[in-house]
Structure 1
């Protein structure tokens, strides 16, 4: 399977998904007008990557800002990872990075953490 790399724009996040080592990272800002078209290749790639079983996945969220429609897409990604972890013997870990002074990003991470049954680390920087 090929890696997925998407360069960031002012409104769209940077995406680096490495199929060889299982390190998946999304970072920057996300407030596109059409989140469905932006996140379709991301969700399609992740769906294909989590076919089969037993892979290690480390998903790093390093977001500075995202809008409500992106929040929903992140929920979908996390539910996909949770399903893989619980039903396909996937070794999944999520790292949610947030700036120490960014209480909104901290709260978002806590909300996601409460919604899924996967190892979820809150990492301040």
Structure 2
């Protein structure tokens, strides 16, 4: 499978998925007009990656703002990771955010509540 590289825009985050490294990174705001169109390639990538033999997958987030449809898409991705974790797959999330933006920290904590895999939340000063 190829790497995935979706450039950042004013309304959508940069999304990079590295097949060899087992790493997905998302950074920026996420309020695109069509979240399905933006996130479906990433969801397809995650499904393909997790269908391969046992290799860890790490998701690194540095998201500043997410609209409702982006939150739903991220939930779908985390659900895929949760399912893989329950089957014994090594998956993890690290969500870094600006410590001055308490709302993002609270949102990350809400996501973490539903996950049983390692999920770190780090406020940057």
**Within 5 Å, which residues of 2 pair with 1:84-103?**
84-87=84-87, 89-103=88-102
Aligned residues: 124
Query: 1:104: which partner in 2?
Result: 103
Query: 1:24: which partner in 2?
Result: 24
Residue by residue over 1:54-103, the C-alpha shift from the partner in whole angstroms, topping out at 9 and shown as x without a partner, is 2111100111111111011111110101111111x311110011111111
Tell me, in whole angstroms, the C-alpha distance in 1 between the residues paired with 2:4 and 2:79. Answer: 20
Tell me, in whole angstroms, the C-alpha distance in 2 between the residues paired with 1:99 and 1:12. Answer: 18
* Unpaired stretches in structure 2, ≥5 consecutive residues: none
SS at match of 1:90: coil
Tell me, in whole angstroms, the C-alpha distance in 2 between the residues paired with 1:22 and 1:111. Answer: 25
Following TM superposition, the consecutive aligned residue runs of length 4 or more in structure 1 with deviations greater than 2 angstroms are none
SS at match of 1:60: strand
* Unpaired stretches in structure 1, ≥5 consecutive residues: none
Return the TM-score normalized by structure 2. Answer: 0.95
Q: CA RMSD in A?
A: 0.9
Return the TM-score normalized by structure 1. Answer: 0.95
Query: 1:10: which partner in 2?
Result: 10
